[in-house]
Amino acid sequence: MRSPILDYLDRAIEQTAHVAPGAPADYIPELASADPQRIAVAMSTINGTVYASGDADHHFTIQSISKPFVYAQAIEERGLEDVLARIGVEPSGEAFNELSLDPDTGMPRNPMINAGAIATHALLSHGARPADERILELFSQLAEREIEIDEAVAASEAASAHRNLGLAHLLRAAGALDQEPQDAVDGYIRQCAASVTVRDLALMAATLANGGVQPNTGERLFSRTTTRHLLGVMTSCGMYDAAGDWLTTVGIPAKSGVAGGIVGVLPGQLGIAVFSPGLDAHGNSSRGVAMMQHLSEELHLHLM
Ligand code: DON
């Protein structure tokens, strides 16, 4: 029998017809050619059942949605204290790629903006295997299938990464980066170029909703404490300088990416993922935000 959840997902897509899609990101040339009419939504329960509608098997790059998962991995590997000594947890109120660090500490303000995410990536650069390889393994465990890098997007971003390189040099000068700036940015760009679908992202988000345990494999990927800490950071910093708007209208921890994906986590219940490549002024998917607002209202997801 068809689940009523699918009707909710279909309606979430239908109601975006009046929302201007916006333009795909063009500072990464390979993303500029994305079709703004593509749209998808998926939802996973904490039992691992995934429901999806629209272009649910279309692949796009994870981009900044990688940041929360890699941050949790860094906490697991290095310990919370070590990570907090390097990267703050306060919202910056600035754009995701702002060239700024906390003037008092010289540290990135949080791990969701690029400065913090480059520093986080570098924290995983130890041991015999490259960080991006171990990160792909984590994404594959979260999504329950082998996740690969979109090499064309990675190369395209690497060829125009001046801003992120600038940030990495600032971090290095402030003593907040142990790695060479070029190496940290190269690895971070590969992390962002992991190729996913909304189904993958819904399962990844459901793992966070499930306290760090992948719902289908039963594998604990993050401790409960790490997961709770991460959800706090996603709540305050995940939507950048639109975090206040998001928290009042949608009201759940979330993270967006410039390829057009957004994930949301309803603790103890659901992982949600939406995709549409056109962006708003904050770099968040315009129709993605509209779908999340619709679902939050229809299904009473708002935590407050
Ligand atoms: O570093 C960048 O600019 C991209 N690889 C990721 C930025 C991003 O996804 C911002 N999110 N909306």
Instruction: Report the CATH number at residue 68.
Output: 3.40.710.10
Is residue 304 in a domain?
no
Structural domain contains residue 200: yes
**CB 257 near ligand 1, within 6 Å:** yes
The answer as to whether 169 is a domain residue is yes
Cβ(157) to ligand 1 under 6 A? yes
Within a domain: 166? yes
Question: Which atom of ligand 1 lies at the shortest distance from residue 193's CA?
Answer: 5
Q: Determine the Cα–Cα distance for residues 188 and 169; give it in Å rounded to an integer.
A: 14
CA of 5 to the centre of ligand 1 (A): 31
> What was the ipTM of the complex prediction?
0.99
Domain membership of residue 152 (yes or no) is yes
Residue 100 has pLDDT above 90, yes or no: no
Tell which residue, 281, 279, 251, has the closest CA to residue 267.
251
Q: Is the pLDDT of residue 81 over 90?
A: yes
Mean pLDDT of the chain: 96
CA–centroid distance, residue 112 to ligand 1 (Å): 10
Domain-located, residue 228: yes
**Does 258 show up as a binding residue in the annotation?**
yes
Probe ligand 1: pick from 66, 97, 99, max atoms within 8 Å of CB? 97
Residue 128 has pLDDT above 90, yes or no: no
The reply, when asked if residue 76 is annotated as ligand binding, is no
Name the residue range of residue 188's domain: 4-298
CA dist 296 and 245 (Å) reads: 13
pLDDT higher than threshold 90 for residue 99: no
In a domain, 303, yes or no: no
Atom of ligand 1 nearest to the CA of 117: 1
Tell me whether residue 157 is annotated as binding. yes
pLDDT at 6 over 90: yes
Domain count across the chain: 1
Say yes or no: CB of residue 164 within 6 Å of ligand 1. yes
- Work out the average pLDDT over 275-302: 97
| Assessment of whether the complete model's pTM goes beyond 0.80 | yes
Which residues, 6 or more positions from 280, have their beta carbon under 8 angstroms from its beta carbon? 22, 242, 286, 289
